[in-house]
Structure 1
Amino acid sequence: MVKQNIRTDKWSIVATQKQKELLQNTVSEFRCLVRCLIGVVQTHWSTIGRLEANKQIPAVERLIHATAKNPEIKYRYFGTRFHKFPSYYRRGAIQFAIGQVSSFVTRYREWQSGIRKRKDALPPRLNTDCRTYPPLYKNQCIRFADDNNSAEIKVFTGSDWLWITVGVTGHRQRHLNPDNQRQSPYLIVNEQKCHLSVPFQIKNAKLKEKDSVLSIDLGINTTATASIVNFDGTVSHREFIHPGRDIDRRDKRLKRVSRKASLTGKLCKGFTRGLYRKAGNINREIGQKVSARLVKIAKQYGVKYIVFEHLKGWRPRGGKRKSTLRQRFHSWLHRRIVELTQMKWSELGGQVQFVYPRGTSSNAFDGSGKVKRSSKNYELAVFSSGKKYNCDLSASYNIGARFILKLMGGNSPQDEQGKSSCSSPRSWVTLSMLWSCRPTL
């Protein structure tokens, strides 16, 4: 069975001021219905919660919506307040209300059973004022043009539901792939702009096995160091990825935070919130650029595996209090780059793998032993033989070699942890071990 993933595109809506007001009215009316439905679902949850998923929505509709077969309903308010409400909008609201109540009941039962973050934790509350958005079902709430450059959306005018035509821009490439199935988009409207959140069900292809991998070393001085390591130990490509301009923009704002903090006594809540927000946005942009470049290299050389160090949960230790080094550690992007690369590469059929991190940077790739870091330039490593080399580049070689040996079935001392201690220290996996395996390949 081919694995399928859901990816969401953001399609901007080009609309007049009047059309934006109608779209905002539609979202407001939808949320009003959701607030009313949450109370109904909560009241009858003892019955609704026991039903199967495909029978819950019809059960709620029988309580609020009068038909020829169901003339007597329990809540007539919905027939007068939400007159002519489209059926698919109503079912989307019911589905969200059921999910909201189900989540509350689950969390409340956990709180009653004693599963709490703190002993004095307050019980969860049912939130009815939720900021949800309406789903737009095909041909019922939205109709796209053949070129997807425009769409008709059913909106609420205040007294009736009508169709309006708006422009759609900002497409990506997912809708051009015939294997990708477009699902019902969501109408996202706020005070500044409005857009469609369009999910696609993607059928991933499987990449063929290759005799090389892309190994990545993530660092502070250099954002990412990439190497194409072959199974015979040769290196086909090496590259340093370090968007210096964006990093300077981020660090400039963080320095302004430090300067203002040094001139201020007691820091209040929300101190320099705007600068932190801008620095965080720049950091997100850096993560997108670096991950996109890594995926591009992997596609260029046709590899299947992108290999990182397993650094999840690792917290760096370094830098004095209020120092710039500690601030740089806080803005390190090792998890963001890994997550973005994993999402992008898995969509193309590749895999992201991880190896044990210890020893990759502190051991020379040629097997000569431990390296010494230069006190003036921390990126420079001096091998025991006197050779000088980039430490991050050497680490990327070792990362690739460590994964290749594991893939070939070799027992890496770092991956296999024995229960008994050995008399001599175990050797670290370096690129030189692949060189010794050349005759057997």
Structure 2
Amino acid sequence: MVQTTSIIRTDRWTLNPTASQRVLLSQTVEVYRRVCRHLMGILFTHWPSLAELSSQKRVLAVEKLIHQTAKNPNPKYQQFDQTFYKFPSYYRRAAIVFAAGQVSSYMTRYREWQSGTRQRRDAKPPVLNPNSGCYPTLYKGGCYKLHGYDRIEIKVFNGTDWVWTTVGITSLRERHTVDSNKLRSPSLIFDEPTRACHLSVPFECHPHKREGEGRVVTVDLSINTTATVAVVNFDGTVIHREFIHPGRDIDEVAAAAGTCVQRNGDRRDKRLKSVSKRASKTMGNGGSLQKGFCSHTYRKCRHINRQIGQIVSKRIVQIAQQFNADAIVFENLKGWKAKGGRKRSNLRQRFHGWLKGMIRDLTEMKWQEIGGKVIDVVAAYTSKLAYDGSGVVRRDSNNYALAKFSSGKRYNADLNGALNIAARGILQLTRRKDSEERSSQCSRRSPRSWACLCDLWTSTVRG
């Protein structure tokens, strides 16, 4: 099988330290951040001479400025070794790389500000923030030693010296079990408020390119149904249809995904509706809301949206694997903006809860990791044209989710759109670029109209 280009994916390995180990890990993160702040000043001072160097040569040049060795007995900044006594060399090099990235970003933003590239005419110049919340990068051998996948030995700071401590790993994902994945240097993440810690472990993945069986999985994302999925063969045969809507049937989807969540969409919408009630009580007939109003509620809603996106994208990838699809096809909705609905309608709020971008991105990340391809097609007229070529459809005034064909047949509007999306994706995959210029025998549409599912039937008959 052909191997695709490498991609980076990150796993979370939860650690289970003791109370004394939590103190050691907290002190390690704290002293690492102090080193980064110290190095930012040095790098900023010498940036004109360091900017043109490669990353490796830059690290060596900064070490020559701060670290005393037999070949470098008198560094310019001797107080570094005195302030950070016995600071490990691997931690020091990781801190230099991070500090150099911060200074480089600041200098780029400052040059853009000087050149007039600003969001506002009165925008203030950017500021170099030395108190950035960084976390130590662990290099194998010098900073950590992995004992199986249930224990890890980390070099930590105990207040006076650097020592090794062994911490248990309680949970991890399955990327380490794939032979083609390469483990890269993890980062030690320590959350001070909760005292929880974990490892952020990046993997370099080399998935093999999938060879499908001549079919695509097409997804129509709408506000009526979160995702309408159809599996269509290259000859236009529809072999599977599925509606994924966590707001209504979250129990079934969550069970398939291995989670225990109930009615996420309903919980999200109820929370958002409560914001307007609290705002009216706070402001009354006039006034303004303070900064951070209902931030806790909005944070919960963002988490619910993230979970819905994960559940829906996982199910889409499962369907694509089940039917061994060549690709997953989406509408290209980038840059699409919602239009306001009628007065006192909740249409705009429903569009704000539309997870079109999140679901598409999460699906692409999951599908690419197993060698799949995600393609985007033109979104115009996918739901407006009937998939059988009978022309423009009309939406039911009482139920907008239903479409009425010119023949009188009633059909689900989202499913009709999904079938037309599939036709465009298949034509794009098979490189039939002249498909939009060929008229269909079963269609009343003009030769240059958008492709529909009936175009696949016509091409099959002609072939």
Coarse TM-score class (shorter-chain normalised): over 0.9
Deviation of 1:119 (Å)? 2.1
Opposite residue 200 of structure 1, the aligned amino acid is F
The answer for the alignment partner of 1:23 in structure 2 is 25
Opposite residue 294 of structure 1, the aligned amino acid is I
2:120 to 107, 118, 121: 118
Distance 1:415 1:123 in 2: 53
Distance 2:354 2:10 in 1: 26
- My pick for the range that moved more, 396-405 or 203-212, is 203-212
2:245 to 242, 246, 269: 242
Opposite residue 71 of structure 1, the aligned amino acid is P
Deviation of 1:322 (Å)? 6.0
2:414 to 392, 402, 416: 392
Q: For the Cα contact (< 8 Å) 2:212–2:324, is it kept in 1?
A: no
SS in 1 for 2:188: strand
Deviation of 1:251 (Å)? 0.9
Per-residue deviation, residues 360-379 of structure 1 (Å, max 9, x unmatched): 11111111111111122111
Per-residue deviation, residues 228-270 of structure 1 (Å, max 9, x unmatched): 1111111011100011211111111111112223333233322
Superposed, 1:288-327 pairs within 5 Å as 288-320=310-342, 323-327=345-349
The answer for the alignment partner of 2:388 in structure 1 is 366
Distance 2:159 2:434 in 1: 68
Opposite residue 207 of structure 2, the aligned amino acid is N
Opposite residue 75 of structure 2, the aligned amino acid is I
- My pick for the range that moved more, 33-42 or 430-439, is 430-439
Q: For the Cα contact (< 8 Å) 1:413–1:427, is it kept in 2?
A: no
- My pick for the range that moved more, 259-268 or 351-360, is 259-268
SS in 1 for 2:121: coil
Q: Which runs of 5+ in 2 are unaligned?
A: 249-262, 439-445
The answer for the alignment partner of 1:331 in structure 2 is 353
The answer for the alignment partner of 2:251 in structure 1 is none
Q: For the Cα contact (< 8 Å) 2:55–2:97, is it kept in 1?
A: no
Distance 1:361 1:318 in 2: 20
The answer for the alignment partner of 1:177 in structure 2 is 178
- For normalisation by structure 1, the TM-score amounts to 0.95
Superposed, 1:48-127 pairs within 5 Å as 48-127=50-129
Structure 1 residues 52, 363: CA separation in 2 closer, same or farther (over 3 Å shift)? Answer: same
Opposite residue 327 of structure 2, the aligned amino acid is Y
SS in 1 for 2:9: strand
Deviation of 1:412 (Å)? 6.2
The answer for the alignment partner of 1:160 in structure 2 is 161
Deviation of 1:309 (Å)? 0.5
The answer for the alignment partner of 1:190 in structure 2 is 191
SS in 2 for 1:255: helix
Distance 2:410 2:142 in 1: 67
Distance 1:224 1:335 in 2: 12
SS in 1 for 2:200: strand
The answer for the alignment partner of 1:263 in structure 2 is 281
Opposite residue 252 of structure 1, the aligned amino acid is K
SS in 2 for 1:143: strand
Q: Which runs of 5+ in 1 are unaligned?
A: 417-423
Distance 2:163 2:76 in 1: 29
Q: CA RMSD in A?
A: 1.8
Distance 1:119 1:415 in 2: 48
SS in 2 for 1:54: helix
Alignment of 1:7 onto 2:9: yes
The answer for the alignment partner of 1:421 in structure 2 is none
Deviation of 1:279 (Å)? 1.1
SS in 2 for 1:122: coil
SS in 2 for 1:233: coil
Distance 2:436 2:290 in 1: 46
Distance 1:64 1:48 in 2: 14
Deviation of 1:220 (Å)? 0.5
Deviation of 1:425 (Å)? 7.8
SS in 2 for 1:163: strand
2:139 to 115, 137, 143: 137
Opposite residue 307 of structure 1, the aligned amino acid is V
Structure 1 residues 251, 43: CA separation in 2 closer, same or farther (over 3 Å shift)? Answer: same
SS in 2 for 1:72: coil
Q: For the Cα contact (< 8 Å) 1:186–1:196, is it kept in 2?
A: yes
SS in 1 for 2:282: coil
SS in 2 for 1:169: strand
Distance 1:264 1:231 in 2: 58
Distance 1:164 1:369 in 2: 70
User: Percent of pairs identical after alignment?
Assistant: 53
The answer for the alignment partner of 2:252 in structure 1 is none
Structure 1 residues 415, 402: CA separation in 2 closer, same or farther (over 3 Å shift)? Answer: farther
Per-residue deviation, residues 204-231 of structure 1 (Å, max 9, x unmatched): 2111143111111001010000001111
- My pick for the range that moved more, 255-264 or 404-413, is 404-413
Alignment of 1:381 onto 2:403: yes
The answer for the alignment partner of 2:373 in structure 1 is 351
The answer for the alignment partner of 2:442 in structure 1 is none
- My pick for the range that moved more, 406-415 or 160-169, is 406-415
Alignment of 1:203 onto 2:221: no
- My pick for the range that moved more, 406-415 or 166-175, is 406-415
Distance 1:283 1:413 in 2: 38
The answer for the alignment partner of 2:220 in structure 1 is 217
SS in 2 for 1:263: helix
SS in 1 for 2:433: coil
Per-residue deviation, residues 35-57 of structure 1 (Å, max 9, x unmatched): 11111111111211222222111
Deviation of 1:440 (Å)? 3.9
- For normalisation by structure 2, the TM-score amounts to 0.90
SS in 1 for 2:319: helix
Opposite residue 155 of structure 1, the aligned amino acid is V
